């Protein structure tokens, strides 16, 4: 593989990790755990793996262990640092015994079910150390949820003599890992299952999982781009930039990028929902800021918008729910809709909404009618695999800017000229920051230690990460500890609870205290690109979110 100069330099970087992992260790059990909610239902769903104790690693005696074969899966969307999780896992099992082997299942969980894999060797692993992307084995979104899938997977695991499987993924993927661990334990399959927390959205975290990997790098990439736009914005002084950022269920990315760049406006979905802020209120607030800045001779600015905002706006929830029902898979209305020319789809949907019944019918029809053409059509696109609207395809940034334009007075001296951006893929496969390179390697190595100590149904945990890496704390927590019940497609199912932005916590409170000043003044910060070499305070600094959360 031909490498750039930076890749060559990064290949030589040796990730730092907790001192405790650098020698012989033992697993020390902590408190008995229980789920975050719905305890009886979660226990009933996971009788074999519920109520296990937390694990912390401490110095222990040197023990000789036989070689082990381990499988690894990358599941869900890409996030910076995934290759280092695999590298840490590889080095960890080789430390257990040099004859240990690591098999990577190709293109996500599908590789396990369809028995597609590759043996990961020193040569392969060394090509991918400290690199972005998931291309070492690829990823996929196939759900591991049925007995048939579990049995198909077990067949190849037995054939390769794999006794442990590591699933690297987000909340859905680790929920699947928990089901797999439960099943294999129930049938005494002899296969351990360990999870690693991945999602750049930052919504897989709790007291034991301080952050999900990739969040640090992605926010730094997006913040560099936002800072570049702000500098251009301040130079040209004639454009308003509406920037949509990844984050369907939570606004952690938008909030972190706001802390790093100090835009004029940043919307937080959780605040919109909590305070029942209407679309009209959102639009009016932005319009007022634009008017005040225009009158002060500043006809430019930046607005950050989380990807999932539309689902948090109160009046959109019933509208989206109604449209989801109309376009439910294999329904007669879905078939009728799909046969229509695109030019007729909006009027068809408008008619259906106007003919609707129920307390929200009139409001749904009025809201849909008020939407810009492009957004109205995007709301009616094919549903995702869960039957939900694909919010990433809805150009919320354009919807808001068009509705803002309609609110602005005519005949003013200053002008409103909007520009639109969506930053998503730009951050998913970036070369990991030093923080993510270290954190991911430590997570993978910790997973190997959980395997060595016989654990299953656990997620690797690395904490105290605002301290130097040598002082980080490594261990594991039962996945069932993070679960609650949610209703999906009419059924109550166990899932890992998403961590949304806490409006009472330091990151949001710090932002809220400063945003009025940022709105009217040009207070932009320009973070610049990720730095890999240089002073620690520049290169190894974690996110503002993590620093603020741990400062209490």
108 Rama sector, left if φ>0, alpha if ψ -120 to 50, beta otherwise: left
Residues with Cβ within 8 Å of residue 151, at least 6 apart in sequence = none
Of 90, 121, 128, 120, which is closest to residue 10 (Cα–Cα)? 128
Could you give the CA distance from residue 152 to residue 31 in angstroms, rounded to a whole number? 35
What DSSP string describes 248-301?
A: SS--HHHHHHHHHH--SEE--HHHHHHTT--HHHHHHHHHHHHHHHHHTT---E
DSSP code for 381: S
Q: Which residues are catalytic?
A: 201
Cα–Cα distance for residue pair 81/216, rounded to 1 Å: 10
Residue 545 has which token pair?
């979110």
> What is the DSSP secondary structure assignment for residue 498, as one 8-state letter?
P
Residues in Cβ contact with 487 at an 8 Å cutoff, skipping those fewer than 6 apart: 493
Residues near 352 by beta carbon (within 8 Å), at least 6 away in sequence:
326, 333
H/E stretch holding 551: none
Q: Is 159 exposed, middle or buried (0-12, 13-18, 19+ CB in 10 A)?
A: exposed
Report the candidate in 15, 23, 24, 27 with the shortest Cα–Cα distance to residue 451.
Answer: 27
Both tokens assigned to 289: 């800021």
């Amino acid at each position: 593989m031909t490498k750039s100069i930076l890749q060559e330099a990064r290949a030589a970087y040796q990730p730092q990790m907790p001192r405790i992992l650098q020698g012989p260790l033992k697993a020390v059990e902590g408190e008995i755990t229980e789920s975050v909610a719905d305890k009886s239902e979660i226990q009933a769903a996971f009788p074999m793996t519920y109520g296990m104790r937390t694990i912390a690693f401490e110095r222990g005696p040197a023990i000789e262990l036989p070689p082990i074969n381990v499988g690894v899966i990358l599941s869900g969307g890409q996030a910076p640092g995934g290759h280092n999780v695999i590298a840490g896992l590889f080095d960890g099992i080789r430390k257990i015994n040099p004859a240990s082997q690591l098999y990577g299942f190709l293109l996500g969980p599908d590789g396990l079910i369809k028995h597609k894999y590759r043996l990961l060797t020193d040569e392969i692993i060394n090509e991918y150390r400290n690199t972005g992307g998931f291309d070492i084995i690829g990823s996929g979104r196939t759900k591991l949820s049925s007995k048939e899938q579990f049995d198909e997977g077990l067949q190849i695991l037995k054939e390769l003599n794999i006794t442990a499987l590591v699933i690297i993924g987000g909340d859905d993927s680790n929920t699947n890992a928990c089901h797999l661990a439960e099943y294999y334990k129930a049938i005494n399959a002899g296969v351990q299952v360990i999870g690693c927390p991945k999602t750049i959205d930052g919504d897989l975290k709790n007291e034991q999982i301080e952050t999900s990997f990739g969040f640090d790098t992605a926010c730094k990439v997006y913040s560099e781009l936002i800072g570049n736009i702000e500098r251009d914005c301040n130079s040209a002084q004639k454009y308003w930039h509406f920037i949509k950022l990844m984050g369907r269920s939570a606004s952690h990315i938008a909030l972190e990028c706001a802390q790093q760049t100090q835009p004029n406006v940043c919307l937080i979905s959780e605040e919109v929902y909590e305070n029942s802020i209407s679309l009209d209120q959102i639009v009016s607030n932005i319009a007022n800021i634009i008017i005040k800045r225009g009158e002060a001779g500043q006809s430019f600015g930046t607005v950050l918008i989380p990807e999932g905002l539309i689902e948090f706006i109160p009046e959109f929830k019933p509208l989206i729910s109604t449209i989801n029902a109309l376009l439910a898979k294999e329904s007669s209305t879905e078939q009728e809709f799909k046969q229509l020319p695109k030019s007729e789809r909006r009027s068809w949907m408008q008619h259906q909404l106007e003919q609707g019944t129920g307390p929200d019918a009139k409001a749904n029809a009025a809201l849909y009618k008020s939407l810009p053409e492009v957004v109205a059509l995007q709301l009616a696109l094919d549903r995702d695999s869960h039957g939900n609207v694909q919010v990433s395809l809805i150009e919320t940034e354009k919807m808001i800017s068009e509705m803002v334009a309609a609110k602005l007075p005519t005949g003013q001296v200053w002008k409103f000229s909007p520009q639109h951006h969506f930053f998503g893929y730009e951050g998913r496969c970036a070369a990991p920051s030093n923080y993510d390179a270290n954190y991911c390697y430590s997570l993978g190595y910790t997973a190997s230690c959980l395997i060595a100590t016989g654990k299953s149904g656990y997620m690797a945990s690395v904490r105290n990460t605002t301290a130097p890496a040598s002082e980080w704390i490594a261990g594991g927590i039962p996945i069932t500890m993070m679960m609650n019940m949610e209703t999906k497609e009419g059924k109550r199912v166990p899932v890992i609870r998403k961590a949304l932005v806490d409006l009472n916590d330091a990151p949001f409170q710090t932002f809220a205290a400063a945003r009025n000043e940022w709105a009217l003044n040009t207070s932009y910060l320009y973070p610049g690109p990720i730095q890999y070499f240089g002073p620690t305070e520049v290169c190894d600094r974690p996110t503002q979110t993590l620093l603020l959360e741990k400062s209490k």
